[in-house]
Amino acid sequence: MRDYLKIEINHLLGSLLIFIPIGYLLQQIPVAIALAFIAYFSKHAYYLTKLAYLINQGARIDPPYPADIWGLIYKELSRFRSRSRKRKRTLSRFASRFRKVTSSIPDGLILLNKSAGIEWANPAANQLLNISWPRDENTPLSEHIKHEELSEYLKNPDYSKPLELPSPTNKAVIISLRVTPFGGKKAQRLVVARDITDVYKLNQTRRDFVSNVSHELRTPLTVIAGYLENLSDNDMLPFQERPFTLMVQQADRMNSIINDLLTLSRLELGRAASAEKPVAIPELLRRIIDQAQLLAEQKGGYKITLDVNDSLWLLGEESELMSAFSNLVFNAIIHSPPGTEITVTWLRLENEACLTVTDTGPGIEERHIPRLTERFYRVDKARSRQSGGTGLGLAIVKHIIGRHDGELRISSQLGVGSSFTCAFPEEVTLNKPLTAPDKEEAVNSANDEQPELTHSSPE
């Protein structure tokens, strides 16, 4: 850069050296100096005008370049335009490959703006949802997909669960819509439409099969259990007692499996709870703890602690919540050795209402945790069968909590214990309505601590 400045200074001095002697001879030195500066700046005006012309015409700026500072400007602009052309070619190739990739994807891809208008869509979106780009650009998505839950689904910021609906082009095709926000402040959204007809039919077939088989098995099992009950009134020979006891135990276990399968099939039929009524969770948990103490007495040596927020209730189905919560509490007793401490809490944490069952049992290996809610999955098959578990309990709990818009979270550490948390959003919680006596009692007991419910085996 310094070299170019020296060149410009030399050019200016050269102009002055040419015009000042002439002005001296003509006795017009000021005019000569002015002419020298005019000549110097005329050169700059020429190169500036030439550059503007080349840029306006989109012409290439090729050498030879001027031997002054304009040469630097011309050279750098030429390099910049060359790099720009390369970037354009790269972007063009990338855009071409992107179009080919999106055209080959079987899932429909739809780009929405912040007002849920269509900005772009791939060809698969036309086949699945009858949305074509650029034909339907800037039109609302709800104009093309007539579904009562779509508008609420798009307004809800939680897109963790997909929306399943029939395809507008073919009602026999089931589409799963999943939304992913992105961009600045996540104002834009990418909608992925996937054909899940085969999976949907397979799940429906599985549910129907399980339900039908469970119903068909119930009748012969009832007959077997009836005969076993009649035989229990008769005297048996010593060698008959153990086989008879095993038959009764296995009949009871099969009956539990059938009941759990029927419950699970019923839960899978809908997403929302069958009823949305205020449920007094604190009282429900106290009933569960009373029942859990009876089980603890049979096994011996458990300490059960209950900590609840008495004013925190839920909207939902009481029988389903009773089943889910009792399942977690009883599991803590069944799958833990005597001496285990079990803590049950029902509290409001941040924007959630959380039911947490924590035990100090042997814990669960981390690799098993993601699969605990699968049907019939067992961490220790031998121990689970000995305890009488069906392998369906946590699957039922997960479905019940999901039907109440909640989430089941599991954490565990070997040798330390396990924690099962049912977290419910603020939308399904409510405060217990207080009557006048209740209000007075609440004021008097505001600073009292919740007493512990404990059970210990006799010395």
Distance between CA 116 and CA 188 in Å, rounded? 8
Domain segments of the chain as ranges: 2-100, 105-195, 199-268, 277-444
HEC letters along 149-200: CHHHHHHCCCCCCCEEEECCCCCCCEEEEEEEEECHHHCEEEEEEEECHHHH
- For residue 82, the 8-state DSSP code is H
pLDDT digits (tens, 9 = 90+) for 119-175: 999 999 999 999 998 899 999 888 888 888 888 888 877 787 888 899 988 888 999
Domains 199-268 and 277-444 belong to one CATH topology: no
pLDDT digits (tens, 9 = 90+) for 401-451: 988 889 999 999 988 999 999 999 988 888 876 554 444 444 454 444 443
- The number of beta carbons lying within 10 Å of the beta carbon of residue 204 is 12
* Residue 296 pLDDT: 87
* Residue 449 pLDDT: 41
* Residue 239 pLDDT: 84
Write out residues in the chain with pLDDT < 50, as ranges: 436-443, 445-459
- Greatest CA separation for the chain: 149
Q: 173 and 148 in contact (C-beta within 8 Å)?
A: no
* Residue 175 pLDDT: 92
Q: Give the chain's radius of gyration (CA, Å).
A: 39
Structure tokens at 282: 């604190």
Distance between CA 7 and CA 331 in Å, rounded? 89
Amino acid at 188: Q
CATH superfamily for domain 105-195: PAS domain (3.30.450.20)
pLDDT digits (tens, 9 = 90+) for 277-302: 899 999 999 999 998 988 888 887 78
* Residue 344 pLDDT: 95
Q: 109 and 198 in contact (C-beta within 8 Å)?
A: no
Architecture category of domain 277-444 in CATH: 2-Layer Sandwich (3.30)
pTM of the model: 0.56
- The number of beta carbons lying within 10 Å of the beta carbon of residue 370 is 10
Just give the CATH number of 199-268. 1.10.287.130
**CB-based contacts of 404, cutoff 8 Å, min separation 6:** 273, 314, 315, 316, 317, 320, 321, 424, 428
The β-bridge relationship of strands 341-349 and 303-308 is parallel
